[in-house]
Amino acid sequence: MHPSPSVIIFTTCSGLGFGLLAWLGFGLPDVTGWVAFAFFAVAYLLAVGGLLASTFHLGHPERAMKAFSQWRSSWLSREGVAAVAALLVMGAYAGLLIFFDIRIMVLGWIGAVLSVLTVYATSMIYAQLKTVPRWNSILTPALLLAISISGGALLAGQITEAQVLLPIAAIIQLIWWTRGDLALMQSGTDMATATGLGKIGRVRAFEPPHTGTNYLLRELVYQVGRKHAIKLRVIAFVLGYALPVLLILLPFGHALAALAVLSHLAGIATSRWLFFAEAEHVVGLYYGKR
Amino acid sequence: MTMLPETTTRKLGLVIDLDTCVGCHACVISCKGWNTENYGAPLSDQDPYGANPSGTFLNRVHSYEVQPEVGAAQLVHFPKSCLHCEDAPCVTVCPTGASYKRAEDGIVLVNESDCIGCGLCAWACPYGAREMDAAEGVMKKCTLCVDRIYNENLPEIDRVPACVRTCPAGARHFGDFNDPESHVSQLTAERGGMDLMPEQGTNPVNKYLPPRPKDEIDQIDILAPFLEPVVQEPKGFLGWLDKALEKI
């Protein structure tokens, strides 16, 4: 799949932003006034910035409002509805907390649950696709939720929790990678079922439909960079999980914490690039590619 | 609304005969022609006369080599367009309701004025039937020539999809799969019409007829074994060379 920068920025930043909002909704850390303002500002910048970035790859962003209508069938629509609901509820909660020093616990809890649901809906956009076996697994929502909640803990300064949650996310990441490498093979979809010609013999792509490339090959059969996959996985693992855990095990300091957050963000962005670049769409089989 | 209809009154679709298709790509051209000039946004080309041409097509013809366990390899030309699936995954993922499956005839269509061009439907389709038009930024797909099949301004013979009308080999058939007496239902039953990627659970309406088994030819010419080969051993210079090389 084509690793579109807008979608990588969107899932990485929004995931982290909504993760932080979830912690703030539960009153962790228990802040008020200008300190609370700083925390909520970071969370909103990440969450809203990511959502805005996601509209950059649309053919017609001016019609984006229509995307809230099909929540009954579409995970993309559900994500939009959940995101707006989470941002509105958390906005009310944050406003009361910052400017009036009033904490309405229930409002925070609802906002936190909506924030987590938003990340879940994002993950289901990918996990629902049978056409991309690497994504089509319960492990995909598990991974994206684990990254969001552990990253949120890191950003919220919940060091003890982050020390437990980051390693859990790292383990899910490793399992996700390992399963993903076998997913296309185990999906049961191959050139034989794609063409229905497997009963006659071994099928080989002889000639593509056109001499040039096309939308399908550019969007769904992106193969550039897969050769560096192992190196990039190591980079993603070290920056995203190992280094932040190491940094927060050291005696606490704001500089170290900031470094841990930046390292985590860079690592997750790398992991998310691989999430797309390594994913094989079954339509590639029609072109004898994967 | 992007919920799929429970059932459709009619089930319009195509039968594509892989035994008959000669791979001439006439269906590709007629499809592009009709759908550029008629319903919806035109099918644009980018850099059409340059070094790196590409464009939007609703129908593409692949060619495959199939090598049986014994015998010669076969070449199969393989036209592919939207299969108008009964459980179309492209419809349910659409966030805006632009994609829909018609309850009256089962045709899967895109309302282009509602499409935001997010591309998720193209991701959800296992067949590569949907292509985002690079000029218009909306999703394009086969309409089963909905603007031909009901068009009373056209002579009756032309009220079929452009690809079916143009196919010089008669490899494409159009009809109602809900009617067991229809041409397409009977062809599917007689020839073992098959689904593409049945494991994807899309329940496609379009059916593909597999190539018929090839004839067995034991001997090309029954008199051939009685003919003596003209030259049995090389003579002259070639004979010397042959012997010399043997000795080395």
> What local confidence, expressed as pLDDT, does residue B1 receive?
54
CB contact under 8 A, B3 and A73: yes
Residue owning tokens 């018929």:
B212
CB contact under 8 A, B125 and A64: no
> What distance in Å separates the CA atoms of residue A211 and residue B116, rounded to the nearest whole number?
30
Q: By the 8 A CB rule, do A183 and A171 touch? A: no
Q: By the 8 A CB rule, do B192 and A199 touch? A: no
Which residue out of B116, B120, B195 would a mutagenesis test of the A interface target, given it has the greatest number of A Cβ atoms within 10 Å? B116
Which distant-in-sequence residues (6+ apart) come within 8 Å of B30 by Cβ?
B162, B163, B165, B166
Consecutive H or E run containing B37: helix B26-37
Q: How confident is the model at residue A74 (pLDDT cuts 50, 70, 90)?
A: very high
Q: How confident is the model at residue A8 (pLDDT cuts 50, 70, 90)?
A: very high
Residue by residue, pLDDT tens for chain B (248 residues) are 568 998 899 999 999 999 999 999 999 999 999 999 988 999 999 999 999 999 999 999 999 999 999 888 999 999 999 999 999 999 999 999 999 999 999 999 999 999 999 999 999 999 999 999 999 999 999 999 999 999 999 999 999 999 999 999 999 999 999 999 999 999 999 999 999 999 999 999 999 999 998 877 666 677 777 777 766 677 788 888 888 888 88
Q: What are phi and psi of B169, to 5 degrees?
A: -95, -10
Q: For chain A, first and last CA: distance in Å?
A: 10
Q: By the 8 A CB rule, do A49 and A12 touch? A: no
CB contact under 8 A, A201 and B66: yes
Query: For strand B207-209 and strand B12-17, is the pairing parallel, antiparallel, or unpaired?
Result: parallel
User: Encoding tokens for residue A101?
Assistant: 């020093």
* Helix, coil or strand: residue B174: strand
> What local confidence, expressed as pLDDT, does residue B222 receive?
73
More confident residue, A158 or B244: A158
Which distant-in-sequence residues (6+ apart) come within 8 Å of A206 by Cβ?
B63, B64, B65, B75
User: Encoding tokens for residue A91?
Assistant: 């906005």
A199 touches chain B (CB under 8 A): yes
What torsion do the CA atoms of A219, A144, A275, A207 make, to the nearest 10 degrees? -50
Q: By the 8 A CB rule, do A137 and A126 touch? A: no
Chain A nearest-CA residue for B201: A130
Residue owning tokens 């009036």:
A100
For residue A288, CA distances in Å to A20, A193, A208, A226, A281 come to 43, 13, 9, 17, 12
> What distance in Å separates the CA atoms of residue B232 and residue B230, rounded to the nearest whole number?
7
| Chain B nearest C-alpha distance from A82 (Å) | 13
> What local confidence, expressed as pLDDT, does residue B27 receive?
98
Number of domain units in chain A: 1
Greatest CA separation for chain A = 75
pLDDT tens digit sequence for A254-279: 889 999 999 999 999 999 999 999 99
Q: How confident is the model at residue A225 (pLDDT cuts 50, 70, 90)?
A: low
Q: Which of A1, A60, A204 sits opposite B65 (nearest CB)?
A: A204
> What distance in Å separates the CA atoms of residue A123 and residue A118, rounded to the nearest whole number?
9
Alpha-carbon radius of gyration of chain A: 21
Q: By the 8 A CB rule, do A183 and A134 touch? A: yes
Q: By the 8 A CB rule, do B106 and B205 touch? A: yes
CB contact under 8 A, B201 and A130: yes
> What local confidence, expressed as pLDDT, does residue B117 receive?
96
Q: By the 8 A CB rule, do A51 and A83 touch? A: yes
A184 touches chain B (CB under 8 A): no
Angle between helices A139-155 and A254-277 (to 10 degrees): 160
Consecutive H or E run containing B81: strand B74-81
Burial-class residue B228 by CB neighbours within 10 Å (0-12, 13-18, 19+): exposed
Look up residue A81 and give its amino acid: V
Q: What is the CATH number of the domain that holds A144?
A: 1.20.1630.10
pLDDT tens digit sequence for A207-223: 999 988 999 999 999 87
Q: What are phi and psi of B196, to 5 degrees?
A: -90, 140
> What local confidence, expressed as pLDDT, does residue B218 receive?
65
Instruction: Give me the domains of chain B, ranges plus CATH numbers.
Output: 12-209 (3.30.70.20)
Q: By the 8 A CB rule, do A169 and A251 touch? A: no
A186 touches chain B (CB under 8 A): no
Give me the helices (H) in chain A, please.
5-25, 33-54, 75-100, 105-127, 139-155, 159-186, 191-195, 215-220, 229-237, 243-249, 254-277
What number of residues does chain B have? 248
> What local confidence, expressed as pLDDT, does residue A278 receive?
93
Mean pLDDT of A62-72: 94
Complex ipTM = 0.94
pLDDT value at A142 more than 90: yes
Cis before A5? omega within 30 = no
Q: Which of A60, A74, A194 sits opposite B117 (nearest CB)?
A: A60
Please give the residue range of the domain that contains residue A63: 5-287
Q: Which A residues, 59 through 88, put their C-beta within 8 Å of a C-beta on chain B?
A: 59-61, 63-64, 66-70, 72-77, 80
Chain A nearest-CA residue for B99: A70
CB contact under 8 A, B128 and A187: no
Q: A207: which chain B residues are within 8 Å (Cβ-Cβ)?
A: 62-63
Q: Which A residues, 93 through 132, put their C-beta within 8 Å of a C-beta on chain B?
A: 125, 128-132
Consecutive H or E run containing B147: helix B146-149
Consecutive H or E run containing B143: none
Q: Which of A61, A74, A206 sits opposite B94 (nearest CB)?
A: A74
Neighbours of B9 (CB within 10 A): 12
Q: B93: which chain A residues are within 8 Å (Cβ-Cβ)?
A: 73-76, 125, 128
Residue owning tokens 């985002």:
B132
Greatest CA separation for chain B = 85
pLDDT value at A203 more than 80: yes
